[in-house]
Amino acid sequence: MSEQDVTPNQTGQTGLLGQVTGLDDQYYMNVYGRRQPLCVVSGEGAWLTGSDGKRYLDLIGGIAVSVLGHAHPRLVQAICEQAGRVIHCSNYFYNEPQARLAERLAVLSGLDGARVFIGNSGAEANEAAIKLARAYFHHQGAPRARIVSALKSFHGRTLATATATGQDKYSAPFAPLPTGFVHVPYNDIAALEQAVDQNTCAVLLEVIQGESGVIMADPVYLKTAEALCRQTGARLIIDEIQTGMGRTGRFLAYEHAGLRPDIVTLAKGLAGGVPIGAMIANEETAAGFKPGDHGTTFGGNPLACAAALAVLDTYAQDQLVERAASVGAALKRQLLDLAERQPAIAEVRGLGLMLGIGLNVPGAQAVKASLLKQGFLVGSVGDTTIRLLPPLIVASADLSLFVRAFGETIAELAH
């Protein structure tokens, strides 16, 4: 069927976009509430191309996934070469990419005697972390169940990780929920001290709460969490699903605070877009898993691991972590300069290439829609925050184009 043969769908869209949205409306589960009139067909670098032939600067990066942008030659080559050898094998057997990736992540984590488990997503990584923390105490003959996490956090959409998430909208429809989860206000040291005791299994925190608008943790709060875990024996789990992979200017965001967690979780950008997740634990905590305690069919498959190794090779060769720090700092300065001239901007939050732009007036949805028409893809949280998570390879000149367009759009919002 050619684009010319497609009749308008119920929203009046035609061409390939109309065909795809019509199929989506009829057959895809209604969970995303897609409202942006864009069907992506290809990409190169930090730019995506829609079915309308228009190019869009991707400043949301698949929600922090497309760290190398799109169609990166090294990543494409690694995927093609591995697919030509073997895509999948059972975890009954060894495979080289999995072992090589485990070594790389263990070293990068900085954890003592680190051990790695590779799954398929961030939710699976956090689910594995929760299971490991509980298994750690179970196998000592002194089970603990309580997991302390923060309000307004986001840790995934499985039953356990949605329950750990400190936002009822992600868990309320699925009650009864798993027990043992306690939420405390983010950055509230007194509340944290009251919640963590000898019955606490683990404290699960993000260094920056991305899904709540790029809200940063106070380093003192994070160090307090670490100290409480050391005092009580609870495991400290740091969720680096969105903040990891160099996005904040350090490979892992907990490095900014000088933390030494017991467990860390990664996903999103780890394989540049190929589904993968990883849980890394120090040697003491990793002993909590015995053979048969956990597993996965697809996790650690050769294709995903080869892709992740290619991403890590690119990081090392192109110094992308350092680049995220410098380019992100320059972008933040431009936005702060803009804020001085545009009263509609309340603040600019975040580190590296993980930034949130807080607005003084509701309008984030309108700003996002306007920028889409101008060829810029951004994220939003509620109606007062614009969120930026661009590829780490994004050009500074392209970011300057965005800042100019954003400034003009914000000026219109103020009027």
List active site positions. 154, 239, 268
Residue 358, strand partner residues: 347, 385
Select from 245, 279, 296, 261 the least CA-distant residue to 102.
Answer: 279
Dihedral sign, Cα of residue 202, residue 207, residue 210, residue 213:
positive
- CA–CA distance from 357 to each of 85, 187, 339, 402 (Å)? 45, 20, 9, 13
Q: Which residues of 345-379 are buried (b: 16+ CB within 10 A; e: fewer)?
A: beebbbbbbbbbbbbeeebbeebbebbbeebbbbb
Q: Which amino acid is at 324?
A: A
- For 69, which DSSP code? -
Report the C-alpha gap between 364 and 29 in whole angstroms: 26
Count helices and strands in the chain by DSSP H and E runs: 13, 17
Dihedral sign, Cα of residue 17, residue 21, residue 24, residue 30:
positive
- CA–CA distance from 149 to each of 67, 182, 201, 338, 381 (Å)? 27, 6, 11, 35, 20
